Structure 1
Amino acid sequence: MKTISVIVPCYNEEETINLYYDAMTKVKNEKNKFNFEYWFIDDGSSDKTLKVLKELQAKHSDEVHYISFSRNFGKEAALYAGINEVKGEYTAVMDVDLQDPPEMLEEMFDTLEEGEYDCVGTARMDREGENPIISFFSNSFYGVINKMSQTKIVSGARDFRLMTRQMVDAILSMTEYNRFSKGIFSWVGFKTKYLPYKNRKRVAGETSWNFWKLFKYAVTGIIDFSERPLMFATWMGVFFSGISILAIIGIIIRKLVFPLSSVTGWASMVSIILLIGGIQLLSIGILGEYIGKIFLEVKRRPIYIVKEKK
C-alpha cells in the first residue's frame, strides 16, 4: 500500500488540528487504498497549536510528525519545510481548516495511479461565504498575472494538490528565498489535472489572512514570475520623454513666432508636473520592489529556522 505524505501548515490552529486528523483518518479507513504520513508545520503560532501537535504526535507517533519554527516565517516557508521532509510515493499539500476536502484524495490518488498525470490540483468553482471585496480582487489577480507572466495559473487554483515524487524533487530544487508556491507548481511543469469543487468554510477558528496580507502575496507572485512591471516603467518613461521633447519643440516655435506672448497655463503646468512626478515615483517603486527581492536573495538567509522537530 502506497504512502501519501501530507504537508499541513499550521498557524494558530489549535481548534482545527484534531478535527482535521479525525476527518483524514476516516477517509483512510473508508478507502483503504493508502497510508498517510503527516508533517504538521507549526509556523510560529502564539496559541496552543504546538501543544496540540505534541499530544497528537505522542498518540500517533508512527504517522504524525511536526516541525515548529522559531518564529512566524509564513506559509510558503512552511510548505518548503514539509517538502524537505516527505518520504511517501505521493505528496499532498493541504490546509488544516478542512477547506480542502479530504474525500477528494481518493480521486486524486486514482488519477495519479493511472500514470498519465504527475499532479492533481484543485480549483474552487466559487467563493461563497468570503468577503466580496477580497473575492473580487482575488479573481482579478489571476487575470492580471496570467496576462503579465508566461507562467500560467488556473483561476481559483488552491495549494491543495497531490504530486508525484519526481515533481516534489523538482520543487525542492528551487531554493529561492522569495517563494510563491502557486507559481512554482506551474513553473516546474509536469502534467497537471485540476479538479473543481465548491468553496467550503473553515471548520473552526478564524483565518489569519486579511486583505493586506493577500495583497502583498499577490505582489510577490507578480514580481517573482513576471518582468512586465519593469517593462511598464520603461515604456512609460519613453512615452513621457517623447511628450516632453514635443512640448519643448512647441515652446521654442511659439517663442519664435509670438515673441511677446504672455506666460499662461500655470495650473496646467503644475498638474502635468505632478502627473509626471507621480509616474516617476511609481516607476521607482516598481524598481525598488525588484531590488528588494534581489537584496533578500543575495543575503542567502535560511527560508526557515527549526526550533523543534519530531
Structure 2
Amino acid sequence: MTKKLSIIVPCYFEEESIPLFYAAVEKVKPQLPEIELEYWFINDGSTDNSLAEMKKLNEQDPAHVHYASFSRNFGKEAALYCGLKNATGDYVTVMDVDLQDPPEMLPEMFKYINEGYDCVGTRRMNRKGEPPIRSFFAKLFYKLINKISDTEIVDGARDYRLMTRQMVDAILEMSEYNRFSKGIFSWVGFKTKYLEYKNQERVAGETSWNFWKLFTYSIDGIVNFSQFPLDLASFFGFISSLISGLGIIFIIIRYLIHGDPTSGWASTVCLILFVGGIQLMFLGIIGKYIGKIFTEVKGRPIYIVKEKK
C-alpha cells in the first residue's frame, strides 16, 4: 500500500537552491518504494525569485509540488508551522533547501520508522565550516538549556527529521505564537532515534542566519522552555534583601558604639550602582517573559498566506 511523505521546505532568498533541492530529492525517490512524495515549499517573504522557482516546479509537477507564500517575512518557525499545517502525508519531514540536510539519509530514516520509532532526527557530528565563536556559543547554549530546562534538547540536533502523522498532529496542538521547534519536538515526546552525519556545506546562496539572530533565537529557546531566569531573579532578590538587612543591623550597632562617622560615601555609591544594575538586569528578564505573554494574549496569527497552490 502506497503511503505519502510530505516534505516541508522553508525558503528565504533561496532562488538558486530550490531547483537543486528538488532534483536531489527526486534522485533519492527510487530508494523509497511505495512512498509518494508531497513537496511543500514555504516562501517566507522572499523578494528574490524564490516564489517564481516554486511556481516553475509546481507547473512541472502539479500533483506533488505545492507552495505557500507569506505576505511578509514571519521567520523560519512560522514557515515550519505553516508546512506542518498543510502537510497531508502519513509521514512528514522538515528539510533545509540548501541541502545541508542530506536527502540520502531518508531511506535509513524510514528503516527506523518501520522498526517502530515515531521520529528519526538528525544531529551533526561536527561544526566544520562554522566560525569558531559561533560553535563555542552553540555548545554553550545546549549545555545551559539542558541544565535549566526539563525538556532535553540534543546537542547538534537539526530540524531535519522524519515524523509519523501521530507525532505531527501532537505538534500541531501546540499552537503558541512564540515557537521554538527544537524544544517542541522534544516536549511532545514519542520514541525518537537520532542519526549522526558530518556537517554539509550549502549548495548555493548565503545563509541569512548571523550571530545576532542565532543569539536571540537561543534566548527565545531558554525563555520558552525554562523558568530558571525567573528563579534566578528571585534568588538574587532574596540574597540582596538578606545582605541589606544584615547591613542595616551592622550600621545600627556601629552607630550605638562609635557614633555616626561620615566616611564611606564612595563605597555606598558603588553599592547602590551595583544593586541598581542587578535590578535592571532582572527587570529585563521579567520584561522578556511579560513580552512573550503579551504577544500570546493578543492572539495574532502566526503567519499570513498571500498565495498558495
Instruction: Give the TM interval when normalised to the shorter protein.
Output: over 0.9
1:293 and 2:283 correspond: no
**Counterpart in 2 of 1:257?**
257
CA RMSD of aligned residues (A): 1.0
User: Separation in 2 of the partners of 1:254 and 1:84?
Assistant: 69
Q: CA deviation at 1:269?
A: 1.6
Q: Measure the CA separation in 2 of the matches of 1:275 and 1:42.
A: 47
Distance in 2 between residues matched to 1:6 and 1:155, nearest whole Å? 24
> Hey, what does 2:11 align to over in structure 1?
10
**2:219 maps to which residue?**
219
Shift of 1:30: 4.3
Shift of 1:258: 0.3
Unaligned 5+ residue runs, structure 2?
Answer: none
Segments of structure 1 that go 5 or more residues without pairing to the other structure are: none
The offset of 1:275, in angstroms, is 1.1
- Deviation string, structure 1 residues 127-146 (Cα, Å, up to 9, x no partner): 00011111111111111111
Q: By how many angstroms is 1:33 displaced? A: 5.0
Alignment of 1:122-133 (within 5 A): 122-133=122-133
Conservation of the 8 A alpha-carbon contact between 2:123 and 2:156 = yes
Give the equivalent residue in structure 1 for 2:144.
144
The reply to whether residue 243 of structure 1 matches residue 243 of structure 2 is: yes
Q: How does 1:98-109 map to 2 (within 5 A)?
A: 98-109=99-110
Equivalent residues of 2:31, 2:107 under 8 A apart: no
Give a deviation string over 1:227-275, Cα, whole Å, max 9, x none: 1110100010000010101111111111111015x32222222221111
Match of 1:134 in 2: 134
1:143-174 CA-to-partner distances (Å, cap 9, x unmatched) read 11111100010101000000000000000111
2:126 aligned partner, one-letter code: D
Alpha-carbon distance in 1 for matches of 2:121, 2:32: 20
Per the alignment, residue 187 of structure 2 pairs with: 187
SS in 1 for 2:201: coil
Letter in 2 for 1:81: C
2: distance between equivalents of 1:177 and 1:57?
A: 30
Q: Secondary structure of 1:153's partner? A: coil
Q: CA deviation at 1:307?
A: 0.1
Distance apart, 1:89 and its partner CA: 1.0
Instruction: Give the share of equivalent positions with the same residue, in percent.
Output: 65
The secondary structure found in structure 2 opposite 1:92 is: strand
Letter in 2 for 1:227: Q
Whole-angstrom distance in 1 between the partners of 2:252 and 2:26: 80
Residue in 1 that maps onto 2:163 = 163
What CA distance in whole angstroms lies between the structure 2 residues aligned with 1:112 and 1:3? 14
